[in-house]
Amino acid sequence: MTEYTKIMLDESDIPTQWYNIIPDLPSPPPPPLHPGTHEPIGPDDLAPLFPMDLIGQEVSQERYIDIPGEVLDVYRLWRPTPMFRARRLEKLLDTPAKIFYKYEGVSPAGSHKPNTSVPQAYYNAKQGVKKLTTETGAGQWGSALAFACAQFGLECEVWQVRASYDQKPDRKTMMEVWGATVHPSPSEVTEAGRQILALDPDSPGSLGIAISEAVMQAAPDPDTKYALGSVLNHVLMHQTVIGEEALKQMEKVGEMPDLLIGCTGGGSNFGGLSFPFLREKLAGKINPTIRCVEPASCPSLTKGEYRYDFGDTIGLTPLVKMHTLGHDFIPDPIHAGGLRYHGMAPLVSHIYELGMLEAEAIHQSECFDGAVKFARTEGILPAPEPTHAVAATIREAVRCRESGEEKTILMALCGHGHFDLRSYKAYLAGELSDYEYPTEKVAAAMERVPVISEA
Amino acid sequence: MTEYTKIMLDESDIPTQWYNIIPDLPSPPPPPLHPGTHEPIGPDDLAPLFPMDLIGQEVSQERYIDIPGEVLDVYRLWRPTPMFRARRLEKLLDTPAKIFYKYEGVSPAGSHKPNTSVPQAYYNAKQGVKKLTTETGAGQWGSALAFACAQFGLECEVWQVRASYDQKPDRKTMMEVWGATVHPSPSEVTEAGRQILALDPDSPGSLGIAISEAVMQAAPDPDTKYALGSVLNHVLMHQTVIGEEALKQMEKVGEMPDLLIGCTGGGSNFGGLSFPFLREKLAGKINPTIRCVEPASCPSLTKGEYRYDFGDTIGLTPLVKMHTLGHDFIPDPIHAGGLRYHGMAPLVSHIYELGMLEAEAIHQSECFDGAVKFARTEGILPAPEPTHAVAATIREAVRCRESGEEKTILMALCGHGHFDLRSYKAYLAGELSDYEYPTEKVAAAMERVPVISEA
């Protein structure tokens, strides 16, 4: 009989505030710039797309922001989420390391994404907005926003990348069950979509095109706004409920991590788990190493440059300072669709530059090899994105076996792979490609990044 | 701010004993009979298919049986499961009823099935068995057994009904991720399968054929045994962990149900939730109404006869006394594959005959209508099987709105529908058929039920 495997919290342990790391940092992140003037943007520049409460959170200097009761009432449907000690995986690996994981796959949409879709929908509804538009690649974010809109009586219109729309019909149906309208992107609905289709009627689409369609639909309509599922400061802040709960759970069993591991695509799952631990580290209370894991074929932190670039492929968004592989770089078709992003959250990028984070890149076949080991011992089938965290955790646990170190590892398991079994099938059939890092493609994309003269 | 929505328990609240309701009943259920002699069967008759520990549990007169530590160590991966107060659904329905639901979809396989697959795999491994065979229709049971076999180092061979094998490739991959071998049924692997294929190379298969294949593969091989996911006494007993936890959760918030509602196919989810509440009712401590819900097109309790019949279509199993529509009755292709069974657990049938249970039958379009309401308020997409419980709960909540009664309802939500979105798609597209009860087909099947002269 073991002492604990699953570490539960009570409903009263759900955090009642989000944590904003910015005031605790030794320097603030550089401001977003207007794409035309290259001057820092103001709230008015963002008002056509976001409600004022979220714009306020994006630039807030407050360390804590109260979570509205209406949002907590929805969080209660799946929060607090469980933390597990991966005893069966430890045994398989014969490691002296203690492996813990915080599991966000118990949310209705199956990932951490509802932690931010719910407050985003709430603040929009509060401001009288009637409809939200968004893009979705893997389908996780579109599902999360569809669910959240259903909770607050908002319409939801999603542009799903054509390739995903065709390959993942179940994600589309899930969004429709929650009441959303789903278009393949490129679509005939927007001017951007029509232009692309005129050039290539069979276009498989891209996240960049889908963002353009969702933004173009929202911007001119005062009753419609746009929602983004990662990258922005307020999104990462909403996700800190993960880390706040994880701190309580580690304390509950008298442990504290020596090492935190999370996958990074846009950075929201990683920031959500790690920022509360970083706060404690900055306060000198704990001293964990904090490690980002990214795909070897799309390694924005380990190979990208830290400079101003667009958040979308076409170049409609403000310029943000981040690690980037070039805004029009199209990553190879790895299965972790949520990590196929040319950039990294400006906040994660900034903290990485401050030397407070490590990063490593792993190929997808090693990730799925780890995921199958994980599924056979811990039961859960990870989504392709967190298989990167699983593989990095296994690497570390094996190092501990060799060194004899009794390291305590905390891993972010941000979602389940119930809608991603096609990728497991490809792995089991030996059909998974490890795309090498495309040096020349990235160099070419970086040529097209605008040159900003910084003050 | 609400008082509670999600009712959590600690790991220490996982039950350490299964509850066997048989000694608490005013009379025992009639014994299974040998199909040849019509005499009660003994342990030796079952030994080729099941390990002695499970045969002992099947006929046990002990009220409680200790759950082995090795089984508890696996239960901890998802137990205790959460209970919810469906506050958002109550609000939508404008009902004074309090609706609670116990959610088993957090298990690795996505349903209550691992509650019994894990002990079944454990006892087989303990006896030195190397491999388990089974059938699966919707895929839930096959997944649960594949997961359990991975935990105890057993091989697992699953015959998946051909129609399901073709329509649900993700369930097949899930079983393979956990290390199982999956055959479509009918298959070329067994004599039974080859015979069917010789007659009809395009046979879509049936649960009955798949059972025959799994049993035929296991019976002659001393290292291989067979596992069944419902119907038998020991299976229902393993599921009582659901009801034991639910009792604690209701007590934790100072509530107790006036009405329990669960869907019934083979009866294991229903028995698992209701038997511990029945124990308390028999002891005079509480007095809930307990209601089974079944598909209108396959209503074994409300329309079937209570008599001895075979458990499988072909007639290989012992004869058991149960509510049956005839062992070779093939139900219409409703989406709730787990409820497409001609009979009902002998134990549930017996207790129903004792007058301790109610039953009602509902068509699938009403079920999916309820499921979409549920998903839009509570977030979770129910599997097609528990949509029957959802619809019955909504019926009752609406009655309470009309009568003003503040009834407390506890519903069994036995699994999620992540692999069943095809059925939601059909519902949303208005393509769901409500099959009428096939009076003549059942009458014909009942003609073929053997006549047993009971002592």
Residue among A11, A176, A380 whose CB faces B428 most closely: A176
**pLDDT for position A35:** 87
The answer to whether B170 contacts A421, with C-beta atoms less than 8 Å apart, is: yes
CB-CB contact of B303 with B325 (8 Å): yes
Q: Which two tokens stand for residue A298?
A: 């799309």
A217 with A330, same domain: the answer is no
- The pLDDT-based confidence of B3 (bands split at 50, 70, 90) is confident
**Testing the interface with A: which of B76, B111, B175, B378 to mutate, by most A Cβ within 10 A?**
B76
In chain B, residues with a C-beta closer than 8 Å to the C-beta of A424 are 173-174, 176-177
**Testing the interface with A: which of B11, B118, B380 to mutate, by most A Cβ within 10 A?**
B11
pLDDT per residue over B9-44, tens digit each?
Answer: 999 999 999 999 999 999 999 999 998 899 999 999
A105 with A117, same domain: the answer is no
**pLDDT for position A362:** 97
Spell out the residues 6+ positions from residue A227 whose beta carbon is closer than 8 angstroms to its own: A117, A120, A121, A124, A132, A133, A134, A145
Contact with chain B for residue A111, Cβ under 8 A: no
The answer to whether B173 contacts A419, with C-beta atoms less than 8 Å apart, is: no
pLDDT per residue over B139-149, tens digit each?
Answer: 999 999 999 99
A160 with A298, same domain: the answer is no
In a domain, A1, yes or no: no
- Residue A204 CA from chain centroid, whole number: 23
In a domain, B453, yes or no: no
B4: nearest CA partner in chain A: A11
In chain B, residues with a C-beta closer than 8 Å to the C-beta of A78 are 6, 379
Contact with chain A for residue B92, Cβ under 8 A: no
Contact with chain A for residue B149, Cβ under 8 A: no
The answer to whether A5 contacts B73, with C-beta atoms less than 8 Å apart, is: yes
pLDDT per residue over B233-281, tens digit each?
Answer: 999 999 999 999 999 999 999 999 999 999 998 899 999 999 999 999 9
**pLDDT for position A171:** 95
Please say which residue of B218, B233, B248 terminates a domain.
B233
A244 with A227, same domain: the answer is no
Burial tier of B262 (Cβ tally within 10 Å: 0-12, 13-18, 19+) = buried
CB-CB contact of A41 with A34 (8 Å): yes
Contact with chain A for residue B145, Cβ under 8 A: no
B320 with B381, same domain: the answer is yes
* CATH number assigned to the domain comprising residue B295: 3.40.50.1100
B39 with B154, same domain: the answer is yes
Residue among A76, A376, A380 whose CB faces B6 most closely: A76
Largest distance between two CA atoms of chain B: 65
**pLDDT for position A341:** 85
- Could you give the CA distance from residue B317 to residue B300 in angstroms, rounded to a whole number? 19
pLDDT per residue over A43-74, tens digit each?
Answer: 999 999 999 999 999 999 999 999 999 999 99
In a domain, A385, yes or no: yes
Please say which residue of B211, B233, B255 terminates a domain.
B233
Strands A305-310 and A319-324: antiparallel
B61 with B174, same domain: the answer is yes
How close A300 gets to chain B, by Cα (Å)?
30
- The pLDDT-based confidence of A455 (bands split at 50, 70, 90) is low
CB-CB contact of A157 with A132 (8 Å): yes
The answer to whether A88 contacts B379, with C-beta atoms less than 8 Å apart, is: no
Report percent pLDDT > 90 for chain A.
86
How close A40 gets to chain B, by Cα (Å)?
39
Average pLDDT over residues A321-340: 87
In a domain, B388, yes or no: yes
In chain A, residues with a C-beta closer than 8 Å to the C-beta of B369 are none
Given a cut of 90, whether residue A163 has pLDDT beyond it is no
Contact with chain A for residue B194, Cβ under 8 A: no
The answer to whether A177 contacts B376, with C-beta atoms less than 8 Å apart, is: yes
Contact with chain A for residue B174, Cβ under 8 A: yes
B87: nearest CA partner in chain A: A73
Q: Which two tokens stand for residue A259?
A: 């090492």
In a domain, B72, yes or no: no
The answer to whether A1 contacts B150, with C-beta atoms less than 8 Å apart, is: no
How close A379 gets to chain B, by Cα (Å)?
5
Average pLDDT over residues B58-85: 97
Could you give the 3-state DSSP secondary structure of residue B235?
helix
A174: nearest CA partner in chain B: B421
The answer to whether A177 contacts B84, with C-beta atoms less than 8 Å apart, is: no
**pLDDT for position B138:** 82
B186 with B248, same domain: the answer is no
- pTM given for the model: 0.96
Contact with chain B for residue A430, Cβ under 8 A: no
In a domain, B454, yes or no: no
Strands A98-103 and A408-413: parallel
- The pLDDT-based confidence of A377 (bands split at 50, 70, 90) is very high
- The pLDDT-based confidence of B1 (bands split at 50, 70, 90) is very low
**pLDDT for position A182:** 97
Instruction: Tell me which residue range forms the domain holding A253.
Output: 6-14+78-110+240-446
Contact with chain B for residue A329, Cβ under 8 A: no
The partner residues of A99 in beta bridges, in order of sequence, read: A409
- Could you give the CA distance from residue A263 to residue A268 in angstroms, rounded to a whole number? 9
- The pLDDT-based confidence of A153 (bands split at 50, 70, 90) is very high
The answer to whether B87 contacts A72, with C-beta atoms less than 8 Å apart, is: no
Please say which residue of A233, A251, A284 terminates a domain.
A233
The answer to whether A424 contacts B108, with C-beta atoms less than 8 Å apart, is: no
Q: Classify residue A361 by its DSSP letter.
A: E
In a domain, B134, yes or no: yes
Q: Across chain B, what does the average pLDDT equal?
A: 94
pLDDT per residue over A394-441, tens digit each?
Answer: 999 999 999 999 999 999 999 999 999 999 999 999 999 898 899 999
CB-CB contact of B331 with B340 (8 Å): yes
- The pLDDT-based confidence of A331 (bands split at 50, 70, 90) is confident
DSSP string, B433-454: --PPP-HHHHHHHHHTSPP---
- The pLDDT-based confidence of B407 (bands split at 50, 70, 90) is very high
Average pLDDT over residues A2-31: 93
CB-CB contact of B6 with A108 (8 Å): no
Phi, psi (deg, nearest 5) at residue A351 = -65, -35
Residue among B5, B9, B418 whose CB faces A419 most closely: B418
How close B93 gets to chain A, by Cα (Å)?
15
DSSP string, A285-318: S---EEEEEEETTS-HHHHSEEEEEESSSSS-SP
**pLDDT for position B455:** 57
A426 with A281, same domain: the answer is yes
Residue among B8, B84, B424 whose CB faces A8 most closely: B8
- Could you give the CA distance from residue A358 to residue A270 in angstroms, rounded to a whole number? 12
Q: Across chain A, what does the average pLDDT equal?
A: 94
How close A309 gets to chain B, by Cα (Å)?
37
Q: Which residue carries 């909403």 as its tokens?
A: A238
Residue among A73, A80, A178 whose CB faces B2 most closely: A73
How close B165 gets to chain A, by Cα (Å)?
14
Phi, psi (deg, nearest 5) at residue B217 = -70, -35
* Other Cβ atoms closer than 10 A to A66: 11
- The pLDDT-based confidence of B340 (bands split at 50, 70, 90) is confident
A313 with A438, same domain: the answer is yes
In chain B, residues with a C-beta closer than 8 Å to the C-beta of A377 are 150-151
Given a cut of 90, whether residue B453 has pLDDT beyond it is no
A417 with A275, same domain: the answer is yes
DSSP string, B159-202: EEEHHHHHH-HHHHHHHHHTT-EEEEES-SSSHHHHHHHHH-TT
Q: Which two tokens stand for residue B405?
A: 């009664």
Contact with chain B for residue A103, Cβ under 8 A: no
B271 with B198, same domain: the answer is no
In a domain, A309, yes or no: yes
The partner residues of A18 in beta bridges, in order of sequence, read: A65
The partner residues of B19 in beta bridges, in order of sequence, read: B64
In chain A, residues with a C-beta closer than 8 Å to the C-beta of B79 are 6
- How many domains does one find in chain B? 2
Q: Which two tokens stand for residue A40?
A: 């820092």
* Other Cβ atoms closer than 10 A to A142: 33
Burial tier of B66 (Cβ tally within 10 Å: 0-12, 13-18, 19+) = exposed
